[in-house]
Structure 1
Amino acid sequence: MRVVNGVASELVRPVGRTVPWWALGAAGVVGLLLVAVARWTGGGEPSPHAALLALRGAALAGGLGLASLLDDPARHTTAAVPVPRPARQALRAALVAPLVALWWTAVLFLVPAEVRPPAGGITLEAGAVALLALAAAAAVVRLTDRTRPGRAVATALLVAAVVSPLFVPDSWAVFVQSGDPRWAESHDRWAVALAAAAAVWAASAREPVRRGWGRRRLPAGTRPGTGR
């Protein structure tokens, strides 16, 4: 365990250099601009509907940026280090988590308190979107040989955000207004989505199962159990 922890600490700087900071930064700027524009066009105080729409747009922008967090052109090389994949992915998340938290706090405070939706509910939505992006990226990494899953995951996330409201029935709506009686019920669904995404990410972060693991390969021509 000490060896693994030591190697993990040695990976902090190399992993930090491979994190796609430019993509995360661009997504953060877009999110802040969405909220700032909504406030500016509303004369300093946008309508509650516009404020909620801007915050959801910022949350989606953050998710699109986080979709590229697991991009690693050298993933097939780093797979040889003694630190397992879950630890490497957790390290990437730990490096950006404080910055993401500060960014989201700034996004919330850009919206005037008078028109800001309940912070807990909209933050739950943002967290679920972020974890869905990370879970999808982890699944792509586990199931394919892609080194940059971010673009495909971001595209799928964007399409899902645009298309899902058109097909999801009202009884299962998740994008509701803060004054809607379904607000609390919709956020129960967001909580389920967040928990499911966390479970998928945990399962997908594991090292791929190697076929034939634990089996001893016998020389050609010999029969199992005989040694001949």
Structure 2
Amino acid sequence: MAGTTGQLALLAQLVRPVVRGLPWRALGAGAVAGLVLAALPRVTSSDPNPWVALLLLRGAALAFALGLTFLLDDPARQVTVAVPTRRMVRGALRTALAVPLAVLWWTAAVLLIPAKVRPPVGDITLEAAAAAVVALAASAAAVRLTDEPEPGQRVAVALLAASMGAALFLPSGWGLFATPDMKNWAPGHDRWVVVLAVAALTWAACGPEPVRRRRLIPTRRTPRSGLPGA
């Protein structure tokens, strides 16, 4: 009981510095861009197109996911690596603080889409959740596999490129980008569940600190002395 109380007290002490260290500009930019996209069907047309509304809501989810790629950026990484609190705990705390904001943001984005052209909420929420977890998994992998303190920008570019590539080149029969009136809408969302699960497992695997980083430069041997008998 005492150990649990101590851990909770430590987490409470971490909340304030973690909140200060969150990349609010990147998160805010992704959130605002997403809300603007979601609002377009309501403000630009009195008779919005369901396909356009779906496309814009997917774009909103992607915009927010791009903002999430910056969540684990830590300019002071070389300093915080020596603190007693594990990186996995600090990353989990950052994510826990962002989740309520993400839920509120997504609720607002969905409600901005007019009800008559709004896609099935459960299915489109699954897509948005998968995109968010993929972003977090990619960010966690970048932090684990490199020493870069702020990999968010590169991860965001890679995620955007991968999303565009998937939309252009994945077989349409997979249904990942189907519309509700297509027969592969339901099978496509079964595949979205797989994407979400794989991303979550990757995210969890990349959470802990690596036990040992590989040496990129071989250790130089000490030159032998030229003295006899050395």
Match in the other structure for 1:24: 27
**Deviation by residue 1:143-200 (Cα, 9 ceiling, x = unmatched):** 0001111101110111111121222112223111111111110001111101111100
* In 2: Cα distance, 1:80 partner to 1:7 partner: 16
Q: TM-score, normalised by structure 1?
A: 0.88
Alpha-carbon contact 2:42-2:113 (below 8 Å) kept? yes
Find 2:171's aligned residue among 169, 172, 187.
169
Equivalent position amino acid for 1:127 in 2: A
* In 2: Cα distance, 1:117 partner to 1:195 partner: 23
Match in the other structure for 2:51: 49
* SS state at 1:126 partner: helix
Alpha-carbon contact 1:67-1:134 (below 8 Å) kept? yes
Alpha-carbon contact 2:172-2:178 (below 8 Å) kept? no
* SS state at 1:40 partner: helix
Match in the other structure for 2:8: 5
1:101 is aligned to 2:106:
no
Identity of aligned residues (%): 55
* SS state at 1:176 partner: coil
Match in the other structure for 2:73: 71
* In 1: Cα distance, 2:178 partner to 2:213 partner: 47
Which stretches of structure 1, 4 residues or more, deviate above 4 A after TM superposition?
Answer: none
Equivalent position amino acid for 2:113 in 1: V
* In 2: Cα distance, 1:145 partner to 1:211 partner: 10
* In 1: Cα distance, 2:61 partner to 2:18 partner: 25
**Deviation by residue 1:76-117 (Cα, 9 ceiling, x = unmatched):** 211222221211111001111111100100000011111100
Unaligned runs of 5+ in 1: 213-228
Q: 1:91-170 to 2 correspondence within 5 Å?
A: 91-170=93-172
* In 1: Cα distance, 2:58 partner to 2:157 partner: 17
Kindly report the root-mean-square deviation, in angstroms, between the aligned alpha carbons of the 2 structures. Answer: 1.5
Give 1:211 deviation, angstroms: 6.3
Q: TM-score, normalised by structure 2?
A: 0.88
Match in the other structure for 1:33: 36
* In 1: Cα distance, 2:207 partner to 2:78 partner: 15
* SS state at 2:176 partner: coil
* In 2: Cα distance, 1:203 partner to 1:195 partner: 12
Match in the other structure for 2:89: 87
Alpha-carbon contact 2:174-2:184 (below 8 Å) kept? no
What is the count of residue pairs matched by the alignment?
211
* In 2: Cα distance, 1:211 partner to 1:160 partner: 28
* In 2: Cα distance, 1:32 partner to 1:39 partner: 11
Match in the other structure for 1:210: 212
